[in-house]
Amino acid sequence: MRKITDLFYGRGKDDYDTNESFVLLFHSWSLVGFIPKKPTRISEIISQFICWTCAITSPITYFAGLIATMGDLPITIVLSNLGVAINCVALPLKAIHIKVNIDRLHDVGLIFKRLDARYQRPEDQLEVREAVKVSTRIYAIFFFLYWFYGTASWLAALFAHEYPHGSYFPIIDWLPESVFQFWLHFVFEVFYLQILLQINLTNDAFPGIYIRALRTHIKLLTERVSRLGLNPDLSDQENFEELVDCIVSHQELIQISDTVGSILSLTTFFQFTIYAAILCVCMLNMFVFGDATTKVVTVVYLIPAFWQTIPTCYQASMLESDCAKLPLAIFHCNWLALDKRCHKLIIYFMQRTQEEISFTAIKLFRINLGTNLSIAKFSFTLYTFINEMGFGETLKERLE
């Protein structure tokens, strides 16, 4: 197994395979109890129980804490905590959906393994190596942004001698107020927050990483198709078999896209919905209630909120562009050098590839950068409407 630094920089003499793009994802899922290494171990059972308890109870914990402290905290902190609580609404739903379908991702890995066996040229290996490097960096950026936000949250709370997000933990909060009770709550909340962040970043990272792997094999197939009929050493039968294998590869890529698309459809819908709500709350906090410090804290929170949808949308948009090149490559291949059997197959192949591979969020809207921008525009429009109606200023005056 390669070191993480080798995956990050694409180093090493041995050939890479596409499944190495998912190494950090599956390590993280193992860490948070989605894929226990040895389910019969007591430590593994305890780890799963802790992680799933944190994930499932997170909406109740954060909203209960928000309601309990709403009257005692400034509106800026209340809105900051509201943004975190909203993000927790989708967390258990995404976690359960991915856990139920995680075995299907193992099946996708077997298909990628078969596809890798078809590309042994040095140029193809470099393409796969680049895919692994980019995928590792996507995960690394997710990890850095989410953990930076989590660390900044509890460090700021530590210096202010407050709780990071005012979460409600019944047994701890029922204890008499004391220094011990404060530190017990603080440490438990930090631990709780970091577990939730690790679950969330892994589930948010997987769509972009899988789509990037799919893009790589679409590119490899496009280059392979463009070489059809160019090798004079191949017989008509060998050219026919090569064309058939290209069609089989395309069908396997469609199978991967159907599997991955059915999983990310629901999770990305949750991401888009939460993203729009968080953006509106953050703008209200920044431009109506917030001082300079609040604006900085809000921006720190907004960066991972933006990033949770951008890689998926970017990779999906680039996949649509890559798919558009495949039928053109078929059309411009040296089909005149092929026999009549190949001509009929090429027509069929071209018709099939004109149906581009794209993803939708529960069949409501397409997953791409255009949709991401539209949701951002909607959030700005909603904020403008609230601001024009004077809701924010009215609430501010009443609180003051």
Can you list the alpha helix ranges (DSSP code H) found in 117-226?
A: 122-160, 170-173, 179-226
Is 0.75 topped by the overall pTM?
Answer: yes
Evaluate whether residue 89 is within a structural domain.
yes
pLDDT at 38: 61
pLDDT at 82: 81
- Lookup result for tokens 């680039």: 318
359: helix, coil or strand?
A: coil
Distances 386 to 56, 214, 281, 397 between C-alpha atoms, Å = 32, 41, 11, 15
Q: At residue 320, what is the residue type?
A: E
Number of Cβ atoms within 10 Å of the Cβ of 376: 15
- Residuewise pLDDT in 10s, the chain (400 residues): 788 888 888 888 778 899 999 999 999 998 888 886 666 678 778 888 888 899 999 999 988 888 887 777 777 777 778 888 888 888 999 999 999 999 899 899 999 999 999 998 899 999 999 999 999 999 999 999 999 888 888 888 888 788 888 888 888 888 888 888 889 989 999 999 999 999 999 999 999 999 999 999 999 999 999 998 888 888 888 888 999 999 999 999 999 999 999 999 988 888 888 888 888 777 777 766 666 666 777 777 778 888 888 999 999 999 999 999 999 999 888 888 888 888 888 998 888 888 888 898 888 888 888 888 887 777 777 667 666 666 555 555 554 5
Q: What distance in Å separates the CA atoms of residue 324 and residue 145, rounded to the nearest whole number?
A: 33
pLDDT at 392: 55
Is the distance from CB of 370 to CB of 264 less than 8 angstroms? no
Is the distance from CB of 227 to CB of 243 less than 8 angstroms? no
pLDDT at 247: 93
Rounded to a whole number of angstroms, the CA Rg of the chain reads 25
pLDDT at 225: 92
Evaluate whether residue 232 is within a structural domain.
yes
Number of domains in the chain: 1
Please state the φ and ψ torsions of residue 337, each to the nearest 5 degrees. -80, -5
Which uninterrupted H or E stretch holds 23? helix 23-31
Q: What distance in Å separates the CA atoms of residue 394 and residue 398, rounded to the nearest whole number?
A: 6
Is the distance from CB of 139 to CB of 7 less than 8 angstroms? no
Evaluate whether residue 153 is within a structural domain.
no
358: helix, coil or strand?
A: coil
Q: What distance in Å separates the CA atoms of residue 204 and residue 264, rounded to the nearest whole number?
A: 9
Evaluate whether residue 156 is within a structural domain.
no
pLDDT at 396: 53
pLDDT at 209: 95
- Lookup result for tokens 């799933």: 52
60: helix, coil or strand?
A: helix
Evaluate whether residue 322 is within a structural domain.
yes
Evaluate whether residue 158 is within a structural domain.
no
- Hey, what long-range contacts does 323-327 have (CB within 8 A, 24 or more apart)? 323/218, 323/353, 323/356, 323/357, 323/358, 324/356, 325/222, 326/218, 326/221, 326/222, 326/225, 326/250, 326/353, 327/353, 327/354
Is the distance from CB of 2 to CB of 12 less than 8 angstroms? yes
pLDDT at 399: 46
The DSSP bridge partners found for residue 361 are 365
pLDDT at 299: 78
**DSSP annotation of 74:** -
Is the distance from CB of 223 to CB of 326 less than 8 angstroms? no
Structural domain containing residue 266: 4-147+193-399
Of the CA atoms within 13 Å of residue 64, those in its CB half-sphere come to 10
Q: The tokens of 383 are what?
A: 């904020």
pLDDT at 202: 93
**Taking Cα atoms as reference points, which of 60, 62, 59 lies closest to residue 91?**
59
Q: Is 179 exposed, middle or buried (0-12, 13-18, 19+ CB in 10 A)?
A: exposed
Q: Cβ neighbours of residue 3 under 8 Å, at least 6 residues apart?
A: none
Evaluate whether residue 239 is within a structural domain.
yes
pLDDT at 44: 78
Q: Is 291 exposed, middle or buried (0-12, 13-18, 19+ CB in 10 A)?
A: exposed
Q: What distance in Å separates the CA atoms of residue 51 and residue 290, rounded to the nearest whole number?
A: 34
Evaluate whether residue 329 is within a structural domain.
yes
Number of Cβ atoms within 10 Å of the Cβ of 269: 20
